[in-house]
């Protein structure tokens, strides 16, 4: 993982205005639930994209991540890796499609977390972690296109 990832995560978090959500409740809520001996992270959000030179757009994204409870990945690292993989993939892919830098893209980004999906999300991001490594999948629900990457932990951490 590169040193740029934490900076991108902070930029994405900064793009989420506190006024759009009850930040006290958000800070108190657990991000991870335990179901069937697995840590599960599920989130659905609506991104409003207003990038200079382009028509404003909205994209609904569903994130699902899971890992064995009590496995190699701690709860803290589970949340950290989920956030890191989602943020970097989302920002990199969309900023590239807009043909602008990540920082320009983030400046035009607004986010609202949803309690549940509104119909079918535009994109689904699925992350599965095991003791051996992780698999990250991006699904474009309108085209049906799936992109999947599987890595061992040694590959993830550049060993």
Number of neighbouring beta carbons within 10 Å of residue 72:
13
What CA–CA distance (Å, rounded) separates 111 from 82? 17
Residue 21 lies in a domain: no
Residue 100 sits at φ, ψ, to 5 deg, of: -135, 165
Helix (H) or strand (E) holding 98: helix 75-98
Number of domains in the chain: 1
Q: How confident is the model at residue 11, as a pLDDT?
A: 46
What CA–CA distance (Å, rounded) separates 7 from 87? 10
Q: What is the pTM of this model?
A: 0.81
Residue 121 lies in a domain: yes
Q: Tell me how far CA of residue 112 lies from CA of 41, 43, 59, 136, in angstroms.
A: 17, 11, 11, 23
Number of neighbouring beta carbons within 10 Å of residue 81:
20
Is the separation of the CB atoms in 14 and 79 below 8 Å?
A: no
Q: How confident is the model at residue 102, as a pLDDT?
A: 83
Residue 143 lies in a domain: yes
Residue 24 lies in a domain: no
Structure tokens at 117: 């999906």
Q: How confident is the model at residue 129, as a pLDDT?
A: 97
Residue 25 lies in a domain: no
Residue 11 lies in a domain: yes
DSSP 3-state of 86: helix
* Alpha-carbon torsion (42, 44, 50, 54), positive or negative: positive
Q: What is the mean pLDDT of each run of 10 residues along the chain (159 residues)?
A: 44 46 80 95 94 92 96 95 89 84 87 94 96 96 95 90
Closest CA to 50 of 109, 1, 101, 7: 109
| DSSP 8-state assignment for residue 31 | S
Domain of 115 in residue numbering reads as 4-16+31-148
Q: How confident is the model at residue 52, as a pLDDT?
A: 86
């Amino acid at each position: 993982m590169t040193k740029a990832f934490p900076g991108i995560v902070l930029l994405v978090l900064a793009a989420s205005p506190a006024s759009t959500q009850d930040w006290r409740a958000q800070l108190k809520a657990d991000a991870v639930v335990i179901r069937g001996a697995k840590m599960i992270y599920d989130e659905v959000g609506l991104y409003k994209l207003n990038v200079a030179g382009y028509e404003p757009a909205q994209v609904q994204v569903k994130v699902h991540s899971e890992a064995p409870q009590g496995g190699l990945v701690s709860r803290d690292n589970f949340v950290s890796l989920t956030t890191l993989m989602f943020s970097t993939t989302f920002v990199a892919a969309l900023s590239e499609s807009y043909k602008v830098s990540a920082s320009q893209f983030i400046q035009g980004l607004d986010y609202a977390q949803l309690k549940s999906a509104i119909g079918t999300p535009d994109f689904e991001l699925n992350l599965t972690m095991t003791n051996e490594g992780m698999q990250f999948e991006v699904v474009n629900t309108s085209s049906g296109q799936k992109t999947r990457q599987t890595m061992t932990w040694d590959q993830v951490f550049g060993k």
